[in-house]
């Protein structure tokens, strides 16, 4: 008969909150140590971020403008095939968190703080470190025919931010609406912001108010940080929900896209039918991270 650990609390002995906290803390430290020990066994690469770290506070590890990532292993492939992660839509975030080691200078980074453009750079790097730089895609050319192309994922350049429009270390930018002439400030969204937006959109989707998905307005509400110098949430929501003209909304969104650091996922191709050059956006299909599908 198997022996029972004599130190294990008896069934009728209830643990205090302090004891539970200590057990959880010890378990977390052990798991973290095991993960770090495992990580150190694998080669890593330093990835340059499109932002160059300029939008992060000086005390943030991300201000280095780089991230250190390890090569994908079978452990990460387990993550990619975890059905619960796939159903919740968090499988890629789980993968990226597992691959990121730090900022390349020995400091841990907070994944939630990554702006979306830098996260896109992590996505491309994760694919290269997992399954190599070659990626076969099918695109429709201007002749209306589908053609297959073999791409090199290491060849994508970065859309870098104009240093003249920012204060280093501060994620806040100015814009004047062209029609109403109102002055706004806005920020570049982070992963944490995106999660908050998704949560709010899911909640709003349950409303039968005739306004559809609320995608655009919710995103703008989370981007804008002040209106004519007023940073109160009520003022920002009132502007977006009641006062923002469509022409101003489009101009703001175009400017946000123009200045945001990101990976340029444009691909330059030649039409197989006519020989004429054309451009397309990189298709991110299921085979990007599941090449065996």
Q: What is the pTM of this model?
A: 0.81
pLDDT cut 70: percent of the chain above it: 84
φ/ψ (deg, to 5) at 283: -75, 120
Is the C-alpha dihedral spanning 127, 128, 130, 131 positive or negative?
Answer: positive
pLDDT cut 90: percent of the chain above it: 73
Is-contact 186 227, C-beta < 8 A? no
Is-contact 273 134, C-beta < 8 A? no
Which pair of tokens denotes residue 258? 């123009």
Q: Out of 102-106, 107-111, 162-166, 207-211, which region has the weakest mean confidence (pLDDT)?
A: 207-211
Q: Which residues does residue 175 pair with via DSSP β-bridges, in sequence order?
A: 184
Give the whole-angstrom CA distance, residue 137 versus residue 115: 27
Give the whole-angstrom CA distance, residue 76 versus residue 32: 16
Domain boundaries, the chain: 32-157+283-288, 162-259
Counting every residue, how long is the chain? 293
Q: Which helix (H) or strand (E) holds 157?
A: none
Where do the DSSP E strands lie in 91-145?
A: 100-102, 134-140
Residue 23 has pLDDT above 90, yes or no: no
Residue 26 confidence (pLDDT) = 66
Residue 116 has pLDDT above 80, yes or no: yes
173-176 and 158-159 beta bridge pairing: unpaired
The pLDDT of 78-90, averaged and rounded, is: 93
Task: Give the mean pLDDT of the chain.
Answer: 88
Give domain 162-259's CATH number out of 3.30.2220, 1.10.8, 2.60.40, 3.30.56.
3.30.2220
Residue 8 confidence (pLDDT) = 40
pLDDT digits (tens, 9 = 90+) for 172-218: 999 999 999 999 999 999 999 999 999 998 888 777 665 556 889 99
Please, which pLDDT band fits residue 11 given cuts at 50, 70 and 90?
very low
pLDDT digits (tens, 9 = 90+) for 39-55: 457 799 999 999 999 99
């Amino acid at each position: 008969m198997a022996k029972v650990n004599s130190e294990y609390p008896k069934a009728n002995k209830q643990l205090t909150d302090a004891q539970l906290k200590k057990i959880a803390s010890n378990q977390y430290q052990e798991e973290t140590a095991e993960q770090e020990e495992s990580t150190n066994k694998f080669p890593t690469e330093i990835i340059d971020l499109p932002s160059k770290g300029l939008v992060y506070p000086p005390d943030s590890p991300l201000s280095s403008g780089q991230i250190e990532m390890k090569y994908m292993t079978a452990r990460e492939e387990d993550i990619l095939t975890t059905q619960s992660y796939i159903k919740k839509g968090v499988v890629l975030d789980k993968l990226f968190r597992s691959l990121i080691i730090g900022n390349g200078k020995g400091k841990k980074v907070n994944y939630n703080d990554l702006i979306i453009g830098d996260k896109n750079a992590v996505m491309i790097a994760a694919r290269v470190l997992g399954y190599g730089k070659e990626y076969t895609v099918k695109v429709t050319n201007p002749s209306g025919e589908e053609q297959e192309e073999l791409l090199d994922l290491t060849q994508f350049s970065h859309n870098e931010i104009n240093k003249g429009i920012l204060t280093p270390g501060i994620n806040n930018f100015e814009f004047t609406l062209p029609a109403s002439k109102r002055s706004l400030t806005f920020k570049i969204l982070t992963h944490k912001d995106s999660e908050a937006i998704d949560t709010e959109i899911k909640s709003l989707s349950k409303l039968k108010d005739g306004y559809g998905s609320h995608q655009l307005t919710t995103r703008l509400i989370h981007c804008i940080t002040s209106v004519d110098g007023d940073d109160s949430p009520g003022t920002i929501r009132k502007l977006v929900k009641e006062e923002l003209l469509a022409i101003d909304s489009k101009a703001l969104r175009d400017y946000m896209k123009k200045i945001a650091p990101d990976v340029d996922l444009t691909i330059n191709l030649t039409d197989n039918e006519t020989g004429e050059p054309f451009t397309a956006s990189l298709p991110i299909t299921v085979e990007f991270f599941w090449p065996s599908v």
